[in-house]
A and B are shown apart, each in its own frame.
Chain A
Amino acid sequence: MKGLNEIGIYKRIGLKLTIVVSFTAVIIIGVYSYFNIKSQNDVLLSEVERHVNQLSETVKNSTRYSMLFNERDQIQETIMTIGKDPTIYDVRILNKEGMIIYSRKQDEIGQMLDKKAESCYACHVENKPLEKLPMKDRTRIFRLHPDSTRIMGIVNPIYNEKSCWQSECHAHSKEATVLGVLDVSISLQAIDQQLKDNQIRVFILAIVSVIAIGLIIGLFVKKWIDKPVKELVNATNEVALGNLNYAITDLGNDELGYLAKSFNKMISRLDETRLQLVQSDKMASLGRLAAGVAHEINNPLTGVLTYSSFLLKRTKDNPQMQEDLNVIVRETIRSREIVKGLLDFARQSTPKKHQVDINDVIKRAISVVNNQLKYSRINLSTELNEQIPKVIADANQIQQVCLNLLLNAIDAIGTEGGSIDIKTNLTSLPPKGNTQIKSAVCLKNHNLIYKEFKIGGLPSIQLKIKSNGVEGFMNLDPVYGNDRHFFGINLSKNSSISLNCPTCDISLIDKNEKCPECGGPIYKITIPNQGYLTGCASFNDNWQRWEFIDRGGDRQFVEIKIKDSGCGIPQENIPKLFEPFFSTKGQKGTGLGLAIVWRIIDNHNGTIDVESEVGKGTIFSIKLPLV
């Protein structure tokens, strides 16, 4: 599979997202800037226009008297003075014929202007003189040549008035309308510079925004997408390599976080399914093995048993020999039972139960290993409570359990010597947390026990669950009072939940009763011949009640404790301890001993627990129910 690093950089979501967002930002900033600069430009130009107009009026007014008195030098002087302002490009007055008669630039005086010149164009656009020029048409922006700065010019026509043609100089006749034009032009260099600066600022802003957006998006994409995706890819690779114990660490509550959670859930389901597959596979090969072993061993055993039992008949007058032969016969019959047990284990058949004195069974098991104990220099101490009542059990199977555990203890101690303590006692445990729910049905008598999904190694109770319109399966913990339930769908708090039979869809919610702890709805499941199991159906608390079992009070167990001073079991091996073919003894063991022990104890409705510390020893405690 391709690693994440092999994805081309241009194919990555982060970069794509950055590009798309940056592009959008550039468009937004561009459009905004365009209109912004345009309006700025308009405002500035209108301001300049107003200013130029004002200036033009000022020139016109300040030269008025000089004109009336025909003081030409005075006019030129005024124009020169006003024209000193650096922003003013030119101030000039043209006469009717188009000749420049006054100008800031003295070398211009006397020049004739064409009707198409910038100063004349506004009025003479249609090749005939205009007599009244509207205010807005008086200004114009032009360049002298393409590379020069922009210039704003304003033409201010000087109209004939009474004082003009009545003036002493008689320069103008009464009929003339326009006497000349005052042409003021101002350089727009400063404004253009300002506009250009603005454009550069906007451009820099755009670039900085794009970079900032890119960095911020990149950073969060890395944090929110890259890292979780990398973790997910890593997890799928781990799973692909066969590590089904891999769990993704919490990736938060976003979509990828949920993906990670459902991934974890999927992997744990996969792991359970695989374990079950492995288990059934092992069981199948164990069955074949058992068949072969049984056939091969039972034939020689037939010889041993028939000849020894035959000899037993023939030596009735020899008590010593009778005793020895009895041992042979007895132990051969036990071998027969062991082989049968192996077959029974492979086929998971029910034990043959009778009233059994556990202490007797233990004593018999000890007698079998007595020689080995002496040889391994193991000090065996027993503390058997003679008061314990008899248990309904298969004596041979329980003896085998004790024998297997004793042999394991001897192996664990090795040749250095040590001690084994065996204790029996009567204990009682509350029903909650210690009672397995072995059968459960809905109101229409459909089985709810689901063997394919195990919780704590026991078949769970499978129900159909509906919440917020989502439908799925949930599995109730099969141990009364425990709440290791599994939910196939996501439950949100305080949402209404319906529980139904997976077969017939009948509701399992009991509407007549409420959870005494949270007041929520409760479910009610029929336990055949053993009343009903009720529990909180909102799963906000783990309230459960099974009156039939509670009424019986604490359950009594006979407890067998076998403690050794051996090498101990590493913590990581304890969960695998009872699996078939798990062995730490290498070639010496078959890996079946403890699997058979577990199967036998389970068939007796009992429990087996292990406590162990490496280097100090191990304690196996078996609890067999009295009833």
Chain B
Amino acid sequence: MKEEFDILIIDDEQVVIDSIKRICDINNYKVDFALDAETALLKINGNNFRIIISDIMMPGMDGFQFLNELRNKNIDTPVVITSGYSTIENAVRSLYSGALDFIPKPFSFDEIISIIKRCIKYSELTNPSAKNSSSIIYVTCPAKYYRLGYSCWVKELNDGSVNIGATDIFIKTLENIQNIEFLENDTMINQAEPIVKLIAEDGTINQLYSAVSGRIIESNQKILSDITLLEKDPYFAGWLYRIIPGQLELEMSMLTPCSSDR
């Protein structure tokens, strides 16, 4: 009988594959791997992976081409991109190209496992065949909102500043958020740089990447007293930061308008 895998790892470095595999084994995920993207595409044809973890720089097809290939083939398996060349550009481009998440190498045990868990959860939420999908109530991202990948949204305010926050789907991938850690006001942040740490019930620390760069002028202190705001009203009362954007026009080109979701 054919073995069913949960996770496909694509990396040209065996040590990276081994590391991720080791971590997945502990969490009882079944892992298959490929040393290049072409082999990976073949494996995807015969399997129904729950998530894919892919490197960017590989011999032959690179990570971005791989993402494109998946989109062309209408394969909506969530992809996590990882890279040793972890520049902001690569992170933004990965998220814009359809990756669910981006994790720079090297990563620690906690960092990779929280992302894997979140992505597995995401695939359960979005896969219609999943057992409890019917119980999920979607809150759609409103018009005039933009998002970086699937996790962070941004909305322009009248005074030139912007609000940013986490999308409903990002929040739903986390099991009961217990705590949140904000950055201090006046911190300069870059696009695709982690801005909050969300600590879930299972102890995983989850980072949210900012959709825009700029200077933080305010963080939503109400969330600290009522963390459920994030879940209840992620697009309005559950905003995270107010930011004076640095180069909004330029960064907009890497954001997806929420109106395109409908």
A residues with CB within 8 A of B: 291, 294-307, 309-310, 312-313, 329, 332-333, 336, 340, 343, 347, 349-350, 352-355
Contact = CB atoms under 8 A, between A and B. Distances in A.
9 contacts: A294-B86, A295-B85, A298-B104, A298-B105, A304-B106, A305-B106, A340-B104, A343-B86, A350-B188
A306 B23 CA distance: 8
A349 B188 CA distance: 11
Interface in B1-46: 13, 15-16, 18-20, 22-23, 26
Interface stretch (B92-100, B108-116, B166-174, B250-258): B108-116
Report, nearest first, the 8 A-B pairs whose CB atoms are least far apart.
Answer: A298-B84, A306-B19, A309-B109, A301-B106, A303-B15, A302-B106, A309-B108, A295-B84
A303 B18 contact: yes
B188 A332 contact: no
Contact of A312 (B13, B15, B88, B109): B109
Contact of A353 (B13, B87, B109, B188): B188
Contacts of B86: 294, 298, 340, 343
B109 to A, nearest CB: 4
Contacts of A353: 187-188
A346 to B, nearest CB: 9
Interface string B99-138: 0000011111110100000000000000000000000000
A291 B85 contact: yes
Contacts of B19: 302-303, 306-307
Given A303-B18, A313-B109, 20 more contacts: A295-B83, A296-B84, A298-B105, A299-B13, A300-B15, A302-B16, A302-B105, A303-B16, A305-B107, A306-B20, A306-B112, A309-B109, A310-B23, A310-B26, A312-B109, A336-B104, A343-B85, A350-B188, A352-B187, A353-B188
Contacts of B15: 299-300, 302-303
B108 A329 contact: yes
A294 B19 CA distance: 18
Contacts of B57: 295
A347 B16 CA distance: 26
Contacts of A340: 86, 104
B190 A350 contact: yes
Contact of A354 (B20, B84, B108, B187): B187
B181 interface: no
Contacts of A291: 85
Contacts of B26: 310
B184 interface: yes
Q: Which of the listed residues B85, B184, B187 has the most CB atoms from chain A within 10 Å of its own CB?
A: B85
A296 B57 CA distance: 11
A195 B105 CA distance: 111
Q: Which of the listed residues B13, B26, B83 has the most CB atoms from chain A within 10 Å of its own CB?
A: B13
Nearest to B246: A350
Contact of A299 (B84, B109, B110, B112): B84
Contacts of A352: 187-188, 193
Interface string B225-253: 00000000000000000000000000000
B87 A343 contact: yes
Given A313-B109, A343-B87, A349 B190 contact: yes
Q: Which of the listed residues B16, B22, B184, B188 has the most CB atoms from chain A within 10 Å of its own CB?
A: B16
Nearest to A307: B19
Interface residues of B, number: 29
A355 B83 CA distance: 30
Contacts of A299: 13, 15-16, 84, 105-106
A294 B20 contact: no
Contacts of A301: 105-106
A317 to B, nearest CB: 17
A306 B108 contact: yes
Nearest to B110: A309
A332 B106 contact: yes
Contacts of B13: 299, 302
Contact of B109 (A295, A310, A333, A347): A310
A329 B187 CA distance: 27
B108 A294 contact: no
A600 to B, nearest CB: 15
A298 B19 CA distance: 13
A336 B85 CA distance: 11
A393 to B, nearest CB: 12
Contact of B107 (A296, A302, A349, A355): A302
Contacts of B112: 306
B110 A307 contact: no
A39 B20 CA distance: 120
Contacts of A343: 85-87
A347 B107 contact: no
B89 to A, nearest CB: 9
A297 B84 contact: yes
Contacts of A313: 109
Given A306-B19, A353-B188, A347 B87 contact: yes
Contacts of A298: 84-86, 104-106
A307 B187 CA distance: 33
B22 A310 contact: yes
Contacts of B105: 298-299, 301-302
Given A299-B15, A350-B190, A306 B22 contact: yes
Nearest to B88: A349
A303 to B, nearest CB: 4
Given A295-B57, A310-B23, A350-B188, A305 B108 contact: yes
Interface string B177-199: 00000001001101001000000
